[in-house]
Amino acid sequence: MAQQLVATGLNVAHRDGTVRGRVRYIGKPTDVVKLMRDPEITSTVVLTQGGAVTFAGAILPKRPVGLITLEGAPESHLGIVSREFSIPAVMSVQLADNGGIERLGPDGLMTDTYVKHVVSVLDGQVVELDCADPDTGRVFRVDDGS
């Protein structure tokens, strides 16, 4: 199966090997509740925007296969708790090809346009998270033929 590097970010915790799953974006609380009740959660890589814990954290005990965030750092609360649950996490990801869209607006905040672009690139894709490097996590898109 072909692989393509689609994004890199901050690696929360070093671990050998990779994990694979289908990306699912959670943008609102109802998405969180729905995912928590979905038996496929254990084969899901959760994609969320922020690094605060109260939004996406409730999902972690259900053991998703991985976590990708657009903001935050390993020292963010979500980073800390995902490490404690031993869930591979790549935070503050940047796309290999951002389509010419600026990540931050003039006010320094992440733009909705960029969030939508990342979601359009990653949501629904099968990816592998490579967290072997101490600092950098890599997200590979896997062509699973589906």
Partner 1 sequence: MSASPTQSQPAYLQRYQADDDGVRFMPGAEFRYGHLPPVPDGILGDRILRGSLKTDLLKRQLTLEDVRRPAFSIDELNDLTAYWSWDLWDQLSLRASEGSSGLVPRQEYEALSFANAFYRWPEFMIDMTDRLGIDGIVNLARSGREPANKINMLHSWCLGAVTQLGRALYLIMGHNTPDEYLPELTAAMKFWQALVWGYRGDGYLWSSQNRYTTAALDDGWTQRLRDSMEPLTDETGPDFTALMASAELQSFYLHLDNRLGMYDLGPFVLDNGNPMIVRSTFTREDAYSWSLFARDLPHAMTFVFEIDAAEMQLEEARVLSIGTLMTRPRNYVSSIVKGSVWVRDEWDSELRQVPLAEATAKYLTGIGNATGDIFEWMTRTPRRHLIENGAFTYYVGMILPFMRKAGLYDHYCENHNLWEFDERASRVYYELGRNNFARIVVPTRLFTSSETSFAPISADAPLWRSKYAYV
Please give the residue ranges that form the binding site for partner 1 (CB under 8 A): 11-15, 29-30, 32-33, 36, 48-58, 60-61, 70-78, 80-81, 83-86, 92, 107-110, 134
Cβ pair 12, 74 in contact under 8 A? yes
Q: How far is the CB of 37 from partner 1 (least distance, A)?
A: 11
Single out the residue of 11, 19, 17, 20 nearest to residue 133, CA to CA.
11
Q: How far is the CB of 3 from partner 1 (least distance, A)?
A: 24
DSSP reduced 3-state for 141: strand
Q: Which is nearer to partner 1, 114 or 140 (CB)?
A: 114
What pairs with residue 129 in β-bridges?
A: 19, 139
Tokens coding 125: 């894709």
Single out the residue of 43, 14, 44, 19 nearest to residue 31, CA to CA.
44
Q: How far is the CB of 40 from partner 1 (least distance, A)?
A: 19
Q: Which is nearer to partner 1, 14 or 116 (CB)?
A: 14
Q: Which is nearer to partner 1, 1 or 109 (CB)?
A: 109
Q: Which is nearer to partner 1, 23 or 142 (CB)?
A: 23
Single out the residue of 19, 92, 84 nearest to residue 49, CA to CA.
92
Q: How far is the CB of 29 from partner 1 (least distance, A)?
A: 4
